[in-house]
Amino acid sequence: MNRLPPGAHFTSDIPARMDRLPWSAWHARVVVALGITWMLDGLEVTLVGSVAPVLSEPDTLGLTDAQIGAAATAYLAGAVAGALVFGRLTDAFGRKRLFLVTLSIYAGATFLSAFAWSFASLAVLRALTGAGIGGEYSAVNSAIDELIPARLRGRTDLLVNGTYWLGTAVGAVLTLVLLDPRVLPHVIGWRCVFFVGAVLGCVIMFLRHHVPESPRWLLLHGRVGEAESVTSLIERSVAASRGGRLPPPGPPRELEAKGHVTFGAIARVLFRLYPRRTALGLALMTAQAFAYNGVFFTYPLVLVRFHGVPPGRVGLYLIPFAIGNLLGPAVLGPLFDTVGRRPMIVATYGTSGVLLAAIGVALTQDVFTATTQTVAWCVVFFVASAAASSAYLTVSEIFPVELRGMAIAVFFAVGTGAGGALSPLLFGSLVQSGRPSSVAVGYYIAAALMLAAAAVAAWLGVVAERRSLEEITTDR
């Protein structure tokens, strides 16, 4: 089909038509096919976290606590690199093409992780797995935001991001079986857990072939005819599933075909047009990445080292932890569309910071058992999970469509690199010290970052609830 040249101006009602659609079975299928990315990430982190104590045994890989933390950092470093590379490609070549490529990389690298023979081989394979997941974030989050109606975007994004913890729960259940020496010896069981992610990735590949390209991405690349065809197909699917006529759309908007967006243009948008939004995104992403990755990657080690939990039973404590994290976005998510983004982000980040500091104080007083510490984390991360999910929602909706994938990638990369990649190394070393008071220092740092992010959100927060993506980017 003919394409409009870069710089061409035109009007289209496609954004309004997409935003006026009622929720339908079509939207549910899209959310399942794309949102499964978060479940995969949760599965991966849980598998590695639960396997970590087993990997320190001499008849497996014989890793030290510091090496286990370094393997987690390798996964996160790979995710950073994958986000940057594939974030750029998803803006250039489309959401659909890239979320199929990144899923293939993830499935292949996860499968090969089962055959690691040393710390070095495990670290390399975890980095490749992370690259696939990092690339997924850009392509998938962009597609979801562009396909979900504006009035439901907040709760849908938070619910999708919260499915990370469904993956955590699944991983915890699997490790209870596969790491039980009565079922499989540890020397075999730890390898089997990695096959699960590969199998799940192959199943998802089939589902994703039925997800269309984003009409908004097509419009911004001048492919107006294709965008019209895709939108009409979506409308027919929604109307058929709803059994009635669709409501009328809003007025058309004037748009510009962007074509290829240079790195210079991306930098100009981030640092000249929207410097306040850039600062907001960096604060939110860095704080949540440090808190989550530091606490969760080393939580199994804390259970084993400080509370004497057998490695094969760690999953029992991760399941309620995961349920609390899953419920947070599900329960609090609708408030981000009704009460509003800014007040809810401030409330969830601020509350999380206070609770993290309280956990640190309690840890130094030696008042926790394995059970009570798990209950405490369930309370903290019921709130913190919604906060972390809102960070991804924020950076995916406040920048223009033509560079949305790259914007998500940049904030994910900087936040994860500055907060997430360093925190497992730090917390791993703190746990290895054998002193609860040392681990508490890590919790205090995480608390301070969450409270600082809450302050930034109160100052720089964007009113995005129930507004179209195109409308949000007209503000300065």
Instruction: Identify the CA nearest to 307 among candidates 355, 359, 367.
Output: 367
Strands 9-12 and 253-256: what pairing?
antiparallel
Task: Return all residues near 107 (Cβ < 8 A) that are at least 6 apart.
Answer: 132, 197, 198, 201, 202, 205
Dump pLDDT digits (tens) for 32-78.
Answer: 888 777 787 777 777 766 777 777 777 777 777 677 777 777 887 88
CA distances from 113 to 105, 107, 196 (A): 12, 10, 11
Distance of alpha carbon 135 from alpha carbon 32, whole angstroms? 18
Dump pLDDT digits (tens) for 239-260.
Answer: 998 877 899 998 999 998 887 7
Distance of alpha carbon 149 from alpha carbon 147, whole angstroms? 7
* Residue 19 pLDDT: 95
* H helix or E strand, kind and range, residue 406: helix 404-415
Report the greatest alpha carbon distance in the chain. Answer: 69
Dump pLDDT digits (tens) for 356-367.
Answer: 999 989 988 888
Neighbours of 280 (CB within 10 A): 25
Dump pLDDT digits (tens) for 289-348.
Answer: 888 877 876 777 788 888 888 876 777 887 888 888 889 999 999 999 999 999 999 999
Query: Are 31 and 38 a contacting pair, CB within 8 Å?
Result: no
The mean pLDDT value for 392-406 works out to 86
* Residue 6 pLDDT: 84
Dump pLDDT digits (tens) for 93-138.
Answer: 888 888 788 888 988 888 888 888 888 888 898 899 889 888 887 7
Domains of the chain: 18-216+260-467 (1.20.1250.20)
The mean pLDDT value for 397-415 works out to 84
- DSSP at 312: G
Both tokens of residue 379?
A: 């309370």
